[in-house]
Amino acid sequence: MKNTLLNFQFLFFSTTLIFSQPTSVELEPFKAGEKLEYRVHYGIFNASYASLTLSNGQVDGQELLLASGYGKTIGLARLFFKVEDYYSSYFETKEVQPILFKRNIYEGGYTKNLEVSFNSEKMQATVNNIKKGTTDIISIKDNVQDLISSLYYLRKNFSENKINTGDFFTINMFYDSKNRELALKYLGKEVIRTKYGKIECLKLMPTTNKSRIFKGEGSITIWLTNDVNKIPIRVQADLLVGSIKADLNEYSGIVSPLLIKQKS
């Protein structure tokens, strides 16, 4: 179970946090002050809590947006396996270009504390491992995103009108000192029931390999609100036994009200 939670925690911040699309209306899909809170549960049992907040920030005097991600196990899950993860991404607003990324995690005794500075002109990332006291300079790909900035980059740039149902969209991501490519399959629109009522969503599926925990291709699904905000409202991972879900539990500071077809 603890490995399941860790894998889902990673998937939540690396896949569920990175899908969105703008509309023809020239509105930014997000702004400082936005906060999203998620309840992660296995059946009727609450397993963990996760949140994403957006605020104003600065790095070396440069005005940026600061996206902060936080996740922790709760209830019985926390008694058996404590997880407490903090993520921060400072990015340039206009192009959603990451400048500084921080990751400070505690997962059942395993810890990691990293700071990554991005230099888009030199195409380099400077990785400062605070725990080990080491610094590495690694080449990065064009238009690279960190784990958190990916969400906001896609909310601003991905367009449903530029992709057909069944096609893939890829994103360059720099994570754990490596360049990674994530392929996302667009599955079309679907109306789902949420705590807020019935909401039309865009349905996406990241590619995954079969493992001891996940079923493999098609085992993870993300639903985004089909509105200006493009909020990930649900994430579901089908396991070899059962499934684990992350549902939007609370929100505030969004650009536009959710488009609810039928209230609960």
Distance CA 129, CA 131 (A): 6
Is residue 250 exposed (0-12), middle (13-18) or buried (19+ Cβ within 10 Å)? exposed
Distance CA 18, CA 79 (A): 30
3-state secondary structure of 156: helix
Distance CA 162, CA 84 (A): 38
On whether the CB atoms of residues 232 and 224 are closer than 8 A, the answer is yes
pLDDT at 248: 97
Dihedral sign, Cα of residue 132, residue 90, residue 82, residue 173? negative
pLDDT at 129: 97
> pTM for the whole thing?
0.84
pLDDT at 15: 52
pLDDT at 3: 54
pLDDT at 184: 83
Q: What is the token pair recorded at 24? A: 């023809």
Give φ, ψ of 38 to 5 degrees: -125, 145
On whether the CB atoms of residues 70 and 85 are closer than 8 A, the answer is yes
Q: Which amino acid would we find at residue 124?
A: Q
pLDDT per residue as tens, the chain (264 positions):
555 555 555 556 655 444 444 434 468 899 999 999 999 988 778 889 999 999 999 999 999 999 999 999 887 777 777 889 999 999 998 889 999 999 999 988 999 999 999 999 999 999 999 999 999 999 999 999 999 998 888 788 777 888 899 999 888 999 989 999 888 899 999 999 999 999 999 998 887 554 443 444 567 899 999 999 999 999 998 876 667 899 999 999 999 999 998 887
pLDDT at 81: 79
pLDDT at 25: 45
